[in-house]
Amino acid sequence: MKVVLLEHTQNPEKVCAVAALTSMKEGTPSDMLSEIDTDNAKKRIQRVVGYGHYSVIEHASFTFSIEGISRACSHQLVRHRIASFTQQSQRYVKMEDVPFVTPPSIKNNKTAEDIFNKSLNNNTESYKKLLELGIAPEDARFVLPNAIKTNLVMTMNARELLHFFNLRCCNRAQWEIRDMAWEMLYQVLEVSPALFETSGPKCIGEGICTEGKASCGCYKLFEGKNIDERRIIVKEFFK
């Protein structure tokens, strides 16, 4: 898979900080934007987010190109409702080549991989034969499996991204969407460290896990670790 941060709000931290200031100070947002510096913006964001006033960080948005994920993954992704999606259409795009994602558990097991490839080849052949018979792609696609690759453009604001990372960077999330979420997280951290300072699975910021019996238990290794180290502990936990 490839994840590319295509665009984002210019000066996301300053814009969100100005939104926070607007609610509390006299003066206009445009003047505030020209006056605020990076350090002040960071402090302002930390303060309001610390109070739980997350609406101010909805003013920063981030647009990603998500390339080559499976339809199994994209189906989970589009469950996130506070986001905008545009996905490659299986109605308009007639697939000449039918690329697919192989899960690592299958790739690492020769017998499983043979079964998997055989099944996908059968489906691919059927898809192509249906197209040759003049069946429209929108109907021929019914034989395509979850493994088929897809591309999307997705936009989320910073508040939704924090929520998304809470759920999808967690070791409880499925491996493909989890890999994608971590990739997104590291890219937005580069652009906006203040907005995403404590982002990641919930346990990273809170130091505890709310998954009950299903918890992976990695948070037990967090004591004395900073956020970056905690992120590594979560990511490496099952390796």
Distance CA 20, CA 16 (A): 6
Q: In angstroms, what is the minimal distance from the CB of 208 to ligand FAD?
A: 17
Q: Give the other-Cβ count within 10 Å of 76's Cβ.
A: 18
Residue closer to ligand FAD by CB (options 80, 128) is 80
Query: Is residue 168 among the annotated active site residues?
Result: yes
Helix ranges (H only) for 83-199 are 104-107, 110-132, 137-140, 158-168, 175-191
Q: In angstroms, what is the minimal distance from the CB of 214 to ligand FAD?
A: 8
Q: Give the other-Cβ count within 10 Å of 119's Cβ.
A: 12
Q: In angstroms, what is the minimal distance from the CB of 183 to ligand FAD?
A: 17
151 close to 74: Cβ distance less than 8 angstroms? no
Please report whether residue 163 would count as binding ligand FAD according to CB under 6 A.
yes
Catalytic residue of the set 168, 178, 230, 231? 168
Candidate list 5, 67, 68, 80; residue touching ligand FAD; CB under 6 A: 80
Number of residues that bind ligand FAD (CB under 6 A): 9
Please report whether residue 129 would count as binding ligand FAD according to CB under 6 A.
no
Q: Give the other-Cβ count within 10 Å of 59's Cβ.
A: 17
Please report whether residue 81 would count as binding ligand FAD according to CB under 6 A.
yes
**Which range, of 3-11, 36-44, 131-139, 167-175, touches ligand FAD by CB under 6 A?**
167-175
Specify the pairing of strand 83-87 against strand 149-157. antiparallel
Helix ranges (H only) for the chain are 12-22, 29-35, 38-51, 71-77, 104-107, 110-132, 137-140, 158-168, 175-191, 202-206, 227-236
Q: In angstroms, what is the minimal distance from the CB of 220 to ligand FAD?
A: 20
Residue closer to ligand FAD by CB (options 80, 225) is 80
CA dihedral defined by 213, 215, 218, 222, rounded to 10 degrees?
-80
Candidate list 130, 167, 216, 221; residue touching ligand FAD; CB under 6 A: 167
Residue closer to ligand FAD by CB (options 135, 216) is 216
Q: Which letter does DSSP use for residue 169 in this model?
A: S
Residue numbers of the site for ligand FAD (CB under 6 A)?
A: 79-82, 160, 163, 167, 172-173
Residues marked as catalytic: 168
